[in-house]
Amino acid sequence: DTEVTQTPKHLVMGMTNKKSLKCEQHMGHRAMYWYKQKAKKPPELMFVYSYEKLSINESVPSRFSPECPNSSLLNLHLHALQPEDSALYLCASSHAVGTVDIYNEQFFGPGTRLTVL
Amino acid sequence: DQQVKQNSPSLRVQEGRISILNCDYTNSMFDYFLWYKKYPAEGPTFLISISSIKDKNEDGRFTVFLNKSAKHLSLHIVPSQPGDSAVYFCAASADQGGKLIFGQGTELSVKP
């Protein structure tokens, strides 16, 4: 199994809703990532989990709350979002971050297209 | 402050010819570089990578060249095929693959 899966594929939510995005990988990777991508822009890193612990938070607003229940799963909990948060949310995974002598590529999921009304 | 730059937003190439996509960076601490290909409404697909200890890496039709003194890397695709038409992102990391900084992307169009 060499893929990263994300659910749902599309999500429409109001500004008062609470929803969650889910990501799963079974490649034995110990690092997982959330990115946000707006149209015609590159992916922008939001969070990095390494060995199930949050290692990087790129000053993301608290209305986005990540969670890593185990080494295969990564969630992104959403609450009180704004219309400008509408974007493609990408999950990625890789081998352990920063391991000496190991350079490792990140494998991306297909993304969740989020629309906030 | 854009640390990774792809100055060509688009590139059109004839099928069978070579496609050359360019990328410049400013951070001399970057030690790992990657190219991703992205179709609309899909996640980026990893293509090829190179560490800063090398100047060339080849995988089939794809070759990445790194010129550290010029802080420049390029992706060569030869021969180009219509299925190569997509947006190509270069990305760089300073910590062996942790935080990736992406360029703005170049949209490649390969015409039959």
Residue among B34, B96, B105 whose CB faces A102 most closely: B96
**Which of A113, A102, A110 is closest to A50 using CA atoms?**
A102
pLDDT number for residue A101: 44
Chain A nearest-CA residue for B100: A45
Q: Is residue A49 pLDDT above 70, yes or no?
A: yes
Taking CA atoms, what residue in A is nearest to B39?
Answer: A110
A98 in reach of chain B (CB within 8 A): yes
Alpha-carbon radius of gyration of chain A: 14
- CB-nearest partner of B98 from A42, A48, A111: A48
Nearest to residue A76, comparing CAs of A45, A106, A42?
A45
Cβ-Cβ contacts under 8 Å for A99 (sequence gap 6 or more): B96
pLDDT at A99: 56
**Probe site for chain B from A4, A59, A103 (most B CB atoms < 10 A):** A103
Most confident of A31-45, A85-99, B30-44, B77-91: B77-91
